[in-house]
Amino acid sequence: QKEVEQDPGPLSVPEGAIVSLNCTYSNSAFQYFMWYRQYSRKGPELLMYTYSSGNKEDGRFTAQVDKSSKYISLFIRDSQPSDSATYLCAMGYGGSQGNLIFGKGTKLSVKP
């Protein structure tokens, strides 16, 4: 079992839809969780960062972490064509205990 699993999609939604992107993980030692957005032919950029279980909101984006279920989600409200990108989850152990572990990414397309 891989440490981080992410459905590769592709996921296609109409403009204005609520999008749910998900990752599961196997190692309960992960302490912090991130979401990156990668536009085509660009490098990933950090979108959301959280340490704890629960929800963190930033504009139209909400990151949700459920440590008991080893499951994280990114919700995008009122999705826009400009949200079309690949979204990668990433997780870290904290301290000096290794580097981030990335999911393989979910490709999202928001149709006008």
Partner 1 sequence: NAGVTQTPKFQVLKTGQSMTLQCAQDMNHNSMYWYRQDPGMGLRLIYYSASEGTTDKGEVPNGYNVSRLNKREFSLRLESAAPSQTSVYFCASSAGQDFGYTFGSGTRLTVV
In the complex, the residues that contact partner 1 under the rule CB under 8 A are: 8, 32, 34, 41-46, 49, 88, 92, 94-100, 102-105
Give the shortest CB-100-to-partner 1 separation in angstroms: 7
Q: Quick one: 14 or 95, whose CB is closer to partner 1?
A: 95
Q: Quick one: 17 or 101, whose CB is closer to partner 1?
A: 101
Give the shortest CB-14-to-partner 1 separation in angstroms: 26
C-alpha to C-alpha distances, 61 to 29, 43, 56, 101, nearest whole angstrom? 25, 20, 8, 22
DSSP three-state, residue 83: helix
For 1-112, where are the alpha helices, taking DSSP H only? none
Alpha-carbon gap, residue 20 to 45, rounded angstroms = 19
Q: Quick one: 81 or 98, whose CB is closer to partner 1?
A: 98
